[in-house]
Chains A and B, each alone.
Chain A
Amino acid sequence: GAGVSQSPRYKVAKRGQDVALRCDPISGHVSLFWYQQALGQGPEFLTYFQNEAQLDKSGLPSDRFFAERPEGSVSTLKIQRTQQEDSAVYLCASSFLTGTGELFFGEGSRLTVL
């Protein structure tokens, strides 16, 4: 498809398990962002890539969270030793360039940690 694709759409993990969430941005988009959205809240910034370079990871809540984009296209957000407070929707967005342009969001991956 032409949009941002995220997988899996839904993930249930037991506390302590590791999870990996994938984002396929729109082809040719240089910038890629990850956001976390708790129930009833607005999305909160996690991290930002320009091509393969992670330029900002100030929003990652702990060192259990790790993101990569090794070839400047697909990105993976990994959460180690999941906790119940990690339960949220994880949104990926991409844009052609940085600046004031439009961000295109995926539908998100809903993570539930039991």
Chain B
Amino acid sequence: DAKTTQPNSMESNEEEPVHLPCNHSTISGTDYIHWYRQLPSQGPEYVIHGLTSNVNNRMASLAIAEDRKSSTLILHRATLRDAAVYYCILNNAGNMLTFGGGTRLMVKP
């Protein structure tokens, strides 16, 4: 499976935008880019996914580089409830997700 690289942790101020980066230089043409997040004491929850084009939903936006070797999850206005571990995952078979270590996002009031 192609791997992803994310910073271990990031900090943000409440009400400000957050850009969470993910590198996936060995991505294949059929790999979708998925983002999940895991709040404390919860199971992971789906955030967004995309293939080539940028994607928006009610939770976040996903910006995908033209060469697809990196992507950025954008939270437009961070709230305290967005404090979580964010996982960037490549998925082409759909049979399972391979999680890495993720980025722990801390949001300061």
B43 at the interface (CB under 8 A from A): yes
Interchain CB contact under 8 A, A105 and B44? yes
Interchain CB contact under 8 A, B43 and A42? no
CB closest residue in chain A, given B104? A40
Q: How far is the CA of A100 from the CA of B87 in the complex (A)?
A: 16
Which residues of the other chain, B, contact A88 by a CB distance below 8 angstroms? none
CB closest residue in chain B, given A106? B43
Interchain CB contact under 8 A, B43 and A41? no
Which residues of the other chain, B, contact A44 by a CB distance below 8 angstroms? 99
Which residues of the other chain, B, contact A107 by a CB distance below 8 angstroms? 41-43
Using a Cβ–Cβ cut-off of 8 Å, how many residues does chain B contribute to the interface with A?
Answer: 23
Q: How far is the CA of A68 from the CA of B93 in the complex (A)?
A: 22
A102 at the interface (CB under 8 A from B): yes
Q: How far is the CA of A41 from the CA of B85 in the complex (A)?
A: 10
CB closest residue in chain A, given B45? A105
Contact among B36, B44, B95 for A48, CB-based, below 8 A:
B95
Interchain CB contact under 8 A, B43 and A91? yes
CB closest residue in chain A, given B44? A105
A45 at the interface (CB under 8 A from B): yes
Give me the interface of B with A, judged by CB distance under 8 Å: 32, 34, 36, 41-46, 49, 85, 87, 91, 93-102
Give me the interface of A with B, judged by CB distance under 8 Å: 4, 31, 33, 35, 41-45, 48, 55-56, 59, 91, 93, 98-108
